[in-house]
Structure 1
Amino acid sequence: MASVRAAGRLQPAARTALQAGISQQTRGYASLFAGEPSGPEIKTQIPGPKSQQAIKELDKVFDTRAVNMLADYTQSKGNYIVDPDGNVLLDVYAQIASIPVGYNNPTLAKAAQSPEMINSLINRPALGNFPSHDWAQILETGILSVAPKGLDQVFTATAGSDANECAFKAAFMYKAQQRRGGPDVEFTAEELSSCMNNSLPGASNLSILSFKSAFHGRLFGTLSTTRSKPIHKLDIPAFDWPQATFPLLKYPLEEHATENAKAEADALADVERLITTFPHPPAAVIVEPIQSEGGDNHASPAFFRGLRELTAKHDVLFIVDEVQTGIGATGKFWAHEHWDLPTPPDMVTFSKKAQTAGYYYGNPALRPNKPYRQFNTWMGDPARAILFRGIIDEVKRLNLVEHTAKTGDYLYAGIEKLAVKYPGQFKNLRGKGQGTFIAFDSPQRDAFLKKAKTVGVNIGGSGESAVRLRPMLIFDKVHADILLEAMEKIVKM
């Protein structure tokens, strides 16, 4: 049995109680991940002496000011992350929601050792010019096998910001093509010359509409749609693009139904106002199913259906950013499946748990009318596409989407009980029916996150006061019990 010590800060009696709880939970437990630790184990303060020395060495050549903790990935396994000092933490942050099926997953290790993977790694192709003979087969058996309904094509990319940025380009070229009269209409000499001077008519006056508190990336285009924190945007030139109000719901939802319905109606009215009056007309509206970095802000399926109707009404593309919400964490493979849309989004961007990136689309007109317009050297990475295929296989083999839905219900109910027992400590609990994509507001959020490490849990925050849960898809009820007991310890410390 793994022992749990809170970095030397918990009293002995508290340590004994937590150890006993974990012993009871793990007795007879068959993990989805064979051989993972049975619970957290804290041997030193975090960072400990070995981590401190390693961070000091790293800082000579790499900026370490954002380091959360140093990890030893050779020792990390399943739901548990290990540091150089041997501290074992239950990881419910999972590399900012990016680890789907556990550290050192044997299925992924097998995929990584395949001749197909080795060939992709040592002969990385410039996919636009020199795709491999089996690229279509890799896509069809992996990325496209889980494409959102109605979207049967993909543009592959490297990261989430890259995926969104390329989706923006596709939207701009599509809309300009419409204005021009269709894909067969040639560019004018004025368009060709003016774009080289970053001026009209060649340089479009179109925009992308995003929402307040949104996060879509840190590249130049995506940064102009990111509205979560000033530190991301400060000093960076930005486009004059519109931001609509995102409905900030009040909780519990059932007690504020009228107010929340009005907030969503007002937000939709704001979107329509901007679509119709903003001086730089939106080519697309981009939205996250759950505003993750901005504070885990939710809206109802009715709101998103209304958004889809508005974009269709005004001939504006609808981009759903599933970089953080995609692949199972909400109890659906894609979070927008919760909405029951009348027609699919025009594009769905993805990354993180896919371990690759890109955007799905269905309309062939979203392909630019000429080559090299949507292009870069790599255009994604076959090795990462193969890894995503392995992730998909593991998700299907273990039925992890349905598993996550059930585990999320169990975890949510446990936090609800804590919220009743400790008033004001777990405020605005949200994410019911959304798998393990759960969050709450803490009155001392940063202290909560820091204390979590002392009781053997790695957890993250978002927005100004939210504690967000981003466990892996193999997170089970036994891990939920460990987490719930740890959270109770934190608020009592």
Structure 2
Amino acid sequence: MASLLLTRLSLHSLRSSLSGCRHVSKVAPQAQMEWDYDGPCMKTAVPGPSSMERLKQLGEIQNVDAINFFCNYEESRGNYLVDVDGNRMLDVYTQISSIPIGYNHPALHKLMADPNNLSTFVNRPALGILPPGNFADKLAESLLSVAPSGMTRVQTMACGSCSNENAYKAMFIAYRNKERGPGGPTQEDISSCMINQEPGCPDLTILSFMGGFHGRTMGCLATTHSKAIHKLDIPSLDWPIAPFPRLQYPLEEFTRENAAEEARCLEEVEDLIVQWRQKGRPVAGIVVEPIQAEGGDNHASADFFKSLHSIARKHGCAFHVDEVQTGGGATGKFWAHEHWGTDDPADIVSFSKKLLTGGYYHKNDLQADKGYRIFNTWMGDPSKNLFLVEVLNVIRRENLLEEVTRSGKALLQGLYALQEQYPGLLSRARGQGTFCAIDIRDDPTRSKILLKARDKGVLLGGCGERSIRFRPALIFKEYHVALFLNIFNDVLAEFK
């Protein structure tokens, strides 16, 4: 049955040896996009000799322990990343979920060639004090055109970490302003904050979840609990940490057990809020991912998130939904929180990655009350808004969210079939859209699978303790799914 399903999903894919390439799987050429390659082409081991030479060179300048290989971005196309040794790989990881419409999309090249855009690319203004004259119009055309329900304000930033860092600041500022009322800060507030003391530096907290990832900067690290390597040796803030539901899969077979698990976690969230208030360290905000990505692609139900928002509202906490990795369409909706089916999803929604720029949307009462309170030199980059406008045009014109839904269904069905075929190796296939993952029996085996897949021309990423996560671009179509499943099946067969 599993083999039959994989055969159907393969769309009659065939084996071939490409000229100058080692053996790879390949789909029928008539399926490909004009500017996409027709399949992987592996010429050397990865990393190859050119990558190794550059690794040695860069290693004399900075730490290179995390580098996989060096890339030839000029030759990369669509869903394929090419390295400096000429290896062409199907990229199902996309720079940690950050490439929305593939490599070297013609629409973005056309944008770069337009002389009317030169000033935006050449000049990077300090947006907080000297923005360009068309900045509000460009935000309306880009970020505000996809704003979460109920939000009309957006603060741009450079990346996901600084987006969350400043979102936390906004929650603290709003909380203290409510506490003070119309009087504003006292002289004691002003003087004590300069020496990191109360009341100017209040002992407020943010509640986060075990398994969550919100960034590597100092404030964000206090809410990041996915891997020890992120936090080891770094002083941090003692803030409350709640358990995130550990659901059993397939979801439809464990409805009662999963509901009880979510209820347990919600009860602990509320208990923590009360306990920390009693300790004189109130929870000013709750931060959560719609799907815990770095922590292992951990899901929860729409009812869980809606109940969590209600708890936050009940206790006067801001509710911050971190869509840095889930935002931008990978789940089949532009925002993962849209799957919750509510018109009031959050007080703050942060973003980055597929949106090309960072920042956060927020409700009116989280607007900073004075200039320079939420501030840095650049606060984003107007050129990224230009790119985002064109990315959104491509998403709409090519109906890419519908494409993601179709491809995601094929991908998840294929993972279910492989899971059935290799029960001692794979488990817990899960996902929304193409934002999918599957568990491997142990971490060492996962590492070997990732390397063997790369050697056969497929780039994947790990997450959590033993999961593989799939993060293709929005242009990842059903025939790309079939190609991936064939190669992945070849890899898995070596572990049978």
Tell me, yes or no, whether TM beats 0.5. yes
Shift of 1:3: 3.7
Shift of 1:92: 0.2
Residues 328-379 of structure 1, C-alpha deviations (whole Å, 9 max, x = no match)? 000000000000125231010000001101001132x211222111111111
Change (3 A) 1:295 1:302: same
Pairing 1:323–2:321 present: no
Residues 176-207 of structure 1, C-alpha deviations (whole Å, 9 max, x = no match)? 0000014xx22111000000110110001111
Residues 243-271 of structure 1, C-alpha deviations (whole Å, 9 max, x = no match)? 10100111121222111111100010011
Change (3 A) 1:307 1:86: same
State the identity as a percent. Answer: 46
Structure 2 unaligned segments of length 5 or more: list them.
1-14
Shift of 1:158: 0.2
Shift of 1:62: 2.6
* 2:31 corresponds to which of 29, 43, 55: 29
1:445 matched to which residue of 2? 446
Q: Is the 8 A contact 1:78 1:101 kept in 2?
A: yes
Q: Which amino acid aligns with 2:433?
A: G
Q: Is the 8 A contact 1:78 1:105 kept in 2?
A: yes
Change (3 A) 1:48 1:30: closer
Shift of 1:7: 8.9
1:148 matched to which residue of 2? 148
1:478 matched to which residue of 2? 479
Residues 422-480 of structure 1, C-alpha deviations (whole Å, 9 max, x = no match)? 1122211111xx10001001121111101101211011000110000000000001110
Aligned with 2:349: secondary structure? strand
For the residues of structure 1 that align with 2:87 and 2:16, how far apart are their CA atoms?
A: 11
Aligned with 2:150: secondary structure? coil
Map residues 336-351 of structure 1 onto 2, 5 A cutoff: 336-341=337-342, 343-351=344-352
Q: Which amino acid aligns with 1:369?
A: D
For the residues of structure 1 that align with 2:20 and 2:470, how far apart are their CA atoms?
A: 20
Q: Which amino acid aligns with 1:150?
A: G
2:130 matched to which residue of 1? 130
Residues 26-76 of structure 1, C-alpha deviations (whole Å, 9 max, x = no match)? 242142xx2211000111111111121122112222321100221110110
For the residues of structure 1 that align with 2:135 and 2:115, how far apart are their CA atoms?
A: 15
Map residues 232-243 of structure 1 onto 2, 5 A cutoff: 232-243=230-241
Change (3 A) 1:413 1:5: farther
Q: Which amino acid aligns with 2:448?
A: A
Shift of 1:114: 3.0
For the residues of structure 1 that align with 2:286 and 2:113, how far apart are their CA atoms?
A: 41
Shift of 1:297: 0.5
1:57 matched to which residue of 2? 57
Q: Which amino acid aligns with 1:26?
A: A
For the residues of structure 1 that align with 2:272 and 2:413, how far apart are their CA atoms?
A: 39
Q: Is the 8 A contact 1:194 1:201 kept in 2?
A: yes
Aligned with 1:481: secondary structure? helix
For the residues of structure 2 that align with 1:149 and 1:202, how far apart are their CA atoms?
A: 34
1:305 matched to which residue of 2? 306
Map residues 282-431 of structure 1 onto 2, 5 A cutoff: 282-341=283-342, 343-363=344-364, 365-431=365-431
1:203 matched to which residue of 2? 201
Change (3 A) 1:86 1:273: same
1:11 matched to which residue of 2? none
Q: Which amino acid aligns with 1:299?
A: A
Aligned with 1:319: secondary structure? strand
Shift of 1:214: 0.4
1:106 matched to which residue of 2? 106
Q: Is the 8 A contact 1:6 1:456 kept in 2?
A: no
Q: Is the 8 A contact 1:7 1:42 kept in 2?
A: yes
Q: Which amino acid aligns with 2:378?
A: W
1:189 matched to which residue of 2? 187
Aligned with 2:268: secondary structure? helix
Please identify runs of 4+ aligned residues in structure 1 that moved more than 4 A: 4-8
TM-score by length of 2: 0.93
Q: Is the 8 A contact 1:2 1:39 kept in 2?
A: no
Aligned with 1:406: secondary structure? helix
For the residues of structure 2 that align with 1:126 and 1:74, how far apart are their CA atoms?
A: 30
Residues 95-131 of structure 1, C-alpha deviations (whole Å, 9 max, x = no match)? 0000010100111112223345321232211111111
For the residues of structure 2 that align with 1:388 and 1:234, how far apart are their CA atoms?
A: 36
Aligned with 1:358: secondary structure? strand
Q: Is the 8 A contact 2:169 2:374 kept in 1?
A: yes
Q: Is the 8 A contact 1:43 1:85 kept in 2?
A: yes
Aligned with 1:372: secondary structure? coil
Q: Is the 8 A contact 1:427 1:441 kept in 2?
A: yes
Aligned with 2:257: secondary structure? helix
1:48 matched to which residue of 2? 48
2:93 matched to which residue of 1? 93
Pairing 1:261–2:259 present: yes
* 2:214 corresponds to which of 190, 193, 216: 216
What is the aligned-residue RMSD (CA, Å)? 1.6
Q: Which amino acid aligns with 2:407?
A: T
Change (3 A) 1:55 1:63: same
Shift of 1:420: 1.1
Change (3 A) 1:424 1:187: same
Pairing 1:489–2:490 present: yes
Shift of 1:4: 6.0
